[in-house]
A = this chain, B = another copy of it.
Amino acid sequence: METRDILQRLKNNEISIEEAESYFRKKPFEELGDYAKIDTHREIRSGFPEVVYCSNKADEHLIQIYQHLYDQYGEVFGTRATPHQYEIVKEVIPEISYDKISRILKYEKADKKRIGKIAVCTAGTADIPVAEEAASTAEYMGANVERIFDVGVCGIHRLLSKLDTIQSANCIVAVAGMEGALASVIGGLVDKPIIAVPTSVGYGASLNGISALLTMINSCANGIAVVNIDNGYGAGYIASQINRMGAK
């Protein structure tokens, strides 16, 4: 313990008051340097393990990160991985698994305890990759996840027939492209927070997801907040934070 050491040495007359004072006069920001080191214990602070954003990472860099996290935590989880990245990581972590749909590259502990429930809903089948990213993230963060796919608003009975399941979740992730109306309809049917994820599914005036994003941001329903287009990971993360509260 450095602080105690300084104080002891002062008391022992091994250093002068001036020397001790100089040590403690360090600007607050230097102390923050220590705080930064603590950040390697990020899992302890946030309660969630670190996640790797694989997109555009250099091969050697990616291998190092996977190796490091795997060694430290016994598990590792990355989003937006390519098949090529799967190949190279598999060489160092043979038990790694890759899901082509969600593009998640992970090794997850077998005995992970999951709590609460998050419902991950999609409007169409084309939204499933983003939804799977959200669902897998939430599961890695320790949540039970119910997948309810292809319940878009232009066939409202499909959604209504799943209402019990949706209503019983602590948090709903609503994933939709094109007109993105799913979140609003769910918003009128549940009393739990909804995290809306616009997707880039669609063409023409969907503007690569901007249209769905606007729809969700303008929702007339209560209890809806929105993350970036195709950001399944971000939705899974905040939904896990909320679920953790509800599950307590």
Contacts and interface: CB of A to CB of B under 8 A. Distances in A.
A248 B244 CA distance: 12
A7 B19 CA distance: 10
A178 B248 CA distance: 34
When all copies of this chain in the complex are counted, the total is 8
A242 to B, nearest CB: 5
A163 B217 contact: no
Nearest to A183: B179
B33 A7 contact: no
A32 B21 contact: no
Contacts of A189: 156
A58 to B, nearest CB: 9
A200 interface: yes
B21 A4 contact: yes
A94 to B, nearest CB: 27
A82 B191 CA distance: 30
Interface string A168-192: 0010000000111100110111011
A81 interface: no
Interface stretch (A68-76, A83-91, A106-114, A219-227): A219-227
A212 B222 contact: no
Contacts of A25: 3
27 contacts: A1-B21, A28-B160, A31-B31, A32-B161, A33-B161, A36-B155, A36-B157, A39-B155, A154-B221, A156-B160, A170-B245, A178-B219, A178-B220, A179-B180, A179-B218, A180-B181, A181-B181, A195-B225, A204-B209, A204-B218, A205-B217, A205-B229, A206-B214, A211-B217, A224-B227, A225-B225, A246-B248
Lowest 10 CB-CB distances: which A-B pairs, in order? A204-B229, A181-B181, A28-B31, A225-B225, A154-B221, A154-B188, A211-B214, A36-B157, A245-B246, A245-B245
Interface of A: 1, 3-4, 7-8, 10-11, 17, 20-21, 24-25, 27-36, 39, 45-48, 56, 123-124, 126, 152-158, 160-161, 163-164, 170, 178-181, 184-185, 187-189, 191-193, 195-196, 198, 200, 202-231, 234-235, 237-238, 241-242, 245-246, 248
